[in-house]
Structure 1
Amino acid sequence: MGCPSLIAGEGAGVALAQAYVLAGELHRNPGDSAAALDRYQARMQSMIRRKQKLAESLAASFVPRTELGVRLRDYTTLLMRLPVFPKLLMGRYFHHWLTLPDYGM
């Protein structure tokens, strides 16, 4: 489950969240790694699936089929360098749908 997709973005952030949840579940279930892995999987699966679906919906914009599409992608990429545009254009794609639990470690 380590990577939602190659184009979902946020790979390092998702990896850190997964490592935190896995460590926390192992801490909560000492000596029962199967239970810890099951709880980890259940907690992370929904977020990963949503990120995969979003990546599928964005895939076409990474590889446009027309010259106009290529130009739009390239100009959009340039706009992403300005502070307001990433959130404006992509804000809904960066929602995590995950609340990290407090494992008390």
Structure 2
Amino acid sequence: MIGQFAIDLMWWLSMVELPALGGLFWLIQHQRDRQEQNLQQMQAEHRAAIGATRAALSDFKLDVAQRYASIAHLKDVETRLTEHLLRIEAKLGQPVRL
């Protein structure tokens, strides 16, 4: 009886358990490789997206610098306009000579 049980156990291990464990090992290894590939692909896409975002941001900064006046420039223009309007007002305040 013990001999038959040992043979049945050995048969079960060699015919069922070992191939099943080998298949599970292969499945786990294959899944790990796929996850590593997916991770590398996502990292590459992430780097590309960051590069594109940085390029878009630098383009936007350049566009803002070209299109919009700086505060210092606006204050300079305001000062010159105010001075010119004050000169015109002073001239209008003088009596007209014929």
Same fold (TM over 0.5): no
Which structure shows the bigger proportion of residues in helix conformation? 2
TM-score by length of 1: 0.27
TM-score by length of 2: 0.28
Q: Which one has a bigger Cα radius of gyration?
A: 2
Higher relative contact order (CA 8 A, sep 6+): 1
